[in-house]
Amino acid sequence: MNFKLVMLWTDGMIFMLLAVAIAGACWIRQRPHLLLPWKRLFKSRIGMVSLLVLSLFILIGLLDSMHFRVALPDKNGNGQTVYATEVLSVFDALVGDLRSRTEKTYSAPLAVYLYAKESIETADGKILRDYPRLKHGGAHLTDPQNGQVVDVIKRSLYGVFSGWLGGVLLSLLIVSYAAARSRTKVRAWVEARQSTPLNVMLATMVLLAMLIGLTANLAGAYHVLGTDKVGQDVLYLSLKSIRTGLVIGTVTTLVMLPFALFLGIAAGYFRGWMDDVIQYIYTVLSSIPSVLLIAAAVLMMQVTIEKHAEWFSSSVERADLRLLFLCLILGVTSWTGLCRLLRGEALKLRELEYIQAAQSFGVSSLRILSRHILPNVMHIVLIAVVMDFSALVLAEAVLSYVGVGVDPSTNSFGTLINNARLEMGREPMVWWALAAAFGFMLVLVLAANLFADAVRDAFDPRLNRTGDA
């Protein structure tokens, strides 16, 4: 199959961030004094379990960030390859026909019949008002009345078992590989790590694998989380929303960091007029209630996007650029808090003896900033970045509700909630889309919050620790 790779702006940003993270990890690995707090982090049970859950989300987000366009079959026969206008991701390809198996309208989780009654023509020509069978959900059943429950249980058990098997095999593989690398027996390697969170992590991995197996096996024949108003699978929509949440949580920090870092350190270190100017700028920015500032900026961005329709070759690109602009706006409006923290820290650091010594040796300001100040504020930056992530994921939903969030065509938790919010009033109630969006968001944000706590505990030098390794 022929295809053409498509690199959206936010994809580029995500992979750049990934590259920076990997490079940073390699750099830190060789420096024991930098490695120390990370080792502390790796000893925290809650931290590692939440990191594992987060990695699953990140993996889905990364798979969903590799986009391509499939080549259409050559109809004209003139040898020119024409590509489909639809931009797909590797994730779409992996989940198979989950994307295309749409029903007519709502259907409950694991349902076999549609949510609404319809006129059905029976075999003998009569018109009947009844709930029609779904096109895809449980279509393989001949007698759903009796067979459905048994079929669902069978599939769940099979899915859980295969997930368990896969998880156990994977953990065995990892453990034996690690043991082989350190040239010890597997049993000895595991026993030496009784005090580390290894056991909990392996257990979590097996549990996650079981959950994935269960969902995957059921999703093959049913709509696990039901379908929405236009019949799209809610599970698919929720999984696609993860990428948007991750983009907003990470790219925004990428935008915010340069402002906060340079301005904060410069204000604290140089003081004088520079301090006054920078303080003035961030007081002005932070005095505007953030939702209003974001709303005003997004309204203006909409006008600009409307004006320059020629910038975008497809609606996907347009939605993507709008997402990027939203990150930019969020970043530009949210650097003030971290900037203030860094300024205070730089003010404190510049009075310390080693900085004064460097100054009296005639070391240039630029060198002092990069060699002495910057490394000593990095823990604040790291803590702030992980803390902000969960707040940004939650903010996206609120902004989309207010009408200044992502493009309505972008899958995100905000759009999902926004579309489903009036469905609670229906009779019988349509609860599954809301429940799915809130559930996924809760797991993502909870994992991020717990991980942020573990990072803060490991990196905050103010916490007095005993028995450090």
Binding interface with another protein (CB under 8 A): 280-281, 283-289, 291-293, 295-297, 299-300, 302-304, 306-307, 309, 390, 394, 397-398, 401-404, 413, 417, 421, 424, 434, 438, 441-442, 445-446, 449-450, 453
Beta bridge partners of 3: 70
Residue 286 or 376 having the CB closest to another protein: 286
Strand partners, 98: none
Distance, in Å, from the CA atom of 60 to the CA atom of 325, rounded to the nearest integer, reads 23
Q: 406: how many CB neighbours lie within 10 A of its CB? A: 26
Q: Minimum distance between the CB of residue 456 and another protein, rounded to whole angstroms?
A: 10
Specify the residue, 221 or 285, whose C-beta has the smaller distance to another protein. 285
Residue 202 or residue 399: which is nearer to another protein going by CB?
399
Rounded to a whole number of angstroms, the minimum distance from the CB of residue 132 to another protein is 29
What is the smallest separation between the CB atom of 58 and another protein, expressed in angstroms?
18
d(CA 261, CA 200): 37
Q: Which is nearer to another protein, 67 or 340 (CB)?
A: 340
Instruction: Quickly tell me which residue has 């899958």 as its tokens.
Output: 411
Q: Which positions ≥6 away from 137 have C-beta within 8 Å?
A: 103, 107, 110, 111, 112, 221, 222, 223, 227
Q: What is the nearest approach in angstroms of another protein to the Cβ of residue 293?
A: 7
Instruction: Give me the least distance between CB of 441 and another protein, in Å please.
Output: 6
Nearest distance from C-beta of residue 215 to another protein, angstroms: 22
Residue among 128 and 300 whose Cβ is closer to another protein: 300
**Cα distance between residue 448 and residue 389, in whole Å:** 7
CB of 417 to another protein, least distance (A): 6
Identify the bridge partners of residue 130 per DSSP, sorted by sequence position: 118
**Residue 107 or 333: which CB sits closer to another protein?**
333
Residues 6+ apart with CB under 8 A from 41: 47, 454, 455, 458, 459
> Around Cβ 362, how many Cβ atoms within 10 Å?
6
Instruction: Identify which of residues 210 and 384 has a Cβ nearer to another protein in the complex.
Output: 384
CA atoms within 13 A on the CB side of 116: 13
Paired with 68 in beta bridges are 5, 88
**What is the distance between the alpha carbons of residues 342 and 338, in angstroms, rounded to a whole number?**
6
DSSP state, 422? G
